[in-house]
Amino acid sequence: MKQKAKKHVMEIVVLAIVALMALALTSGCSKQGDSDTEQRFITIKGSDTMVHLVSSWAESFMQQNPEIEVSVTGGGSGTGIAAILNGTTDICAASRKIKDKELELALRKNIHPNELAVARDGIAVVVHPDNPVKELTLEQLSRIFAGQSLRWSDVGGPAEEIIVLSRESSSGTYVFFQEMVLKKQDYIQDAKLLPATSSIIQSVSTDKWAIGYVGLGYALAAKDKVKIIAVKEGDTSAAVMPSDETVKTGQYPIARPLYFYLNGEPKGTVKKFVDFCLSAEGQAVVTDAGYVAVQ
């Protein structure tokens, strides 16, 4: 009898262990399923011009959604678009449109870039605060950055050599400025190509005869370190300073849309973030960060 009782108890113990193991397995599967359906981490890569703006969006969004983490990195618009094509980022931040060759590559990879205009930006031309030049025409800027005007005396300043600063070719700002101001001419060979907007601000602030171009938000934030040049469309046009109002109305000539690129329509957590950026609250962040709202 004792042996039968012991056997019965052992059977109950074994059944209990099996039941607990099944419960643990079921629970584990359930958690894994939840993690598959609920994305908790968003990656955004691309335009250095947009890093400040996108980081501000991410900070506000994470305050409202503490369970979600948003990672923002720069590297240039070309880097961000490449990341979308390689499937290594959820969102590409770009200060230029995707190129035809990039779009062709995307379609070959079965990637379907979805373009969303999320803000606008003015490109500010900046010089050292002690530089006496206050305004330039688009033609004068073109001649400076293409290497046809080599001294400040060529554009109404002192007889000092102009030091041209530019972003690197992977930057959307580089491409936009080349198309908009240089009319697709090559930059002067002696231009110093710098990896980030902050590098241009730093160089202009320390070199009295340097000239560069940066996103409006960065120029306004560095107002004590650099001087923003007013831009004229032509000799007889009024000189216009970049601002929220002049960019929005189209008066300031060096302005552009800023984009998000995604692979197809946004879904789930990514859609939640994009919707926030385009909401009234998200567009208020745009204005606060020194950019121009699109909504």
- Is 125 found in the same domain as 221? yes
Q: Are residues 113 and 165 in the same domain?
A: no
Q: Which of 25-34, 51-60, 67-76, 262-271 has the lowest mean pLDDT?
A: 25-34
Same domain, 241 and 284: no
pLDDT digits (tens, 9 = 90+) for 169-213: 989 899 999 999 999 999 999 999 999 999 999 999 999 999 999
Query: At 189, which CATH number?
Result: 3.40.190.10
Backbone angles phi, psi at 116, to 5 degrees: -130, 120
> Rounded to whole angstroms, how far apart are CA atoms 126 and 220?
10
Is position 29 within any domain?
A: no
Output 177-183 pairs: Cβ under 8 A, ≥24 positions apart: 177/123, 177/145, 177/213, 177/254, 180/123, 180/253, 180/254, 180/256, 181/138, 181/141, 181/142, 181/145, 181/254, 182/142, 182/145, 182/146, 183/142
User: Are residues 113 and 52 part of one domain?
Assistant: yes
151 and 57 part of one domain: no
pLDDT, the chain, mean:
88
Per-residue pLDDT band at 107 (split at 50, 70, 90): very high
| Cβ within 8 Å of residue 150, ≥6 positions away | 161, 162
The confidence score (pLDDT) of residue 33 equals 33
Taking only the tens place, the pLDDT of each residue in 210-228 is 999 999 989 999 988 999 9
Higher pLDDT, 274 or 250: 274
Residues whose CB is less than 8 angstroms from the CB of residue 115 and which lie 6 or more positions away in sequence, other chains included:
97, 98, 259, 260, 261
Tell me what pLDDT residue 279 has. Answer: 97
How many domains does one find in the chain? 2
Q: Which of 110-114, 167-171, 229-233 has the lowest mean pLDDT?
A: 167-171
Q: Quick one: pLDDT at residue 29?
A: 33
Segment 119-156, tens digit of pLDDT: 998 999 999 999 999 999 999 999 999 999 999 999 99
Distance CA(41)–CA(240), nearest Å, equals: 42
Q: For the segment 5-40, what is each residue's pLDDT rounded down to a tens digit?
A: 444 444 444 444 434 444 333 333 333 233 445 689
Is 19 a member of any domain? no
Q: How far is CA 287 from the centre of its chain?
A: 15
What Rg value do the Cα atoms of the chain yield, rounded? 27
Same domain, 76 and 140: no
**161/281 same-domain check:** no
- Cβ count near 3 (within 10 Å): 7
Q: State whether 281 and 226 are in the same domain.
A: no
Whether 14 maps to a domain, the answer reads no
Domain assignment of residue 163, given as a range: 121-255
Instruction: Point out which residues pair with 192 in neighbouring strands.
Output: 165
Per DSSP, the three-state class of 292 is strand
Q: Is residue 93 part of a domain?
A: yes
Same domain flag for 276 and 158: no
With H, G, I as helix, E, B as strand and everything else as coil, classify residue 211.
Answer: strand
User: Which residue, 76, 38, 35, 21, is CA-closest to 197?
Assistant: 76
Distance CA 39, CA 208 (A): 49
Domain identity same for 261 and 278? yes
Tokens 């590409």 map to which residue?
92
Give the angle 76-294-49 at the CA atoms, nearest 5°.
Answer: 20
- Domain presence at residue 199: yes
Asked if residue 251 and residue 125 are part of one domain, the reply reads: yes
What span, in angstroms and rounded, lies between the C-alpha atoms of 162 and 144? 8
- Per-residue confidence (pLDDT) for residue 289, from 0 to 100: 86
User: What pLDDT is recorded for position 217?
Assistant: 87
pLDDT at 32: 29
Instruction: Take residue 223 and report the two structure tokens written for it.
Output: 């107002």
Question: Do the domain assignments include residue 27?
Answer: no
- Residue 237 falls within a domain, yes or no? yes
Q: Are residues 100 and 201 in the same domain?
A: no
DSSP alpha helix (H) spans, 50-131: 51-64, 77-86, 100-108
Confidence (pLDDT) at 13? 41
Does some domain include residue 194? yes
Cβ count near 203 (within 10 Å): 18
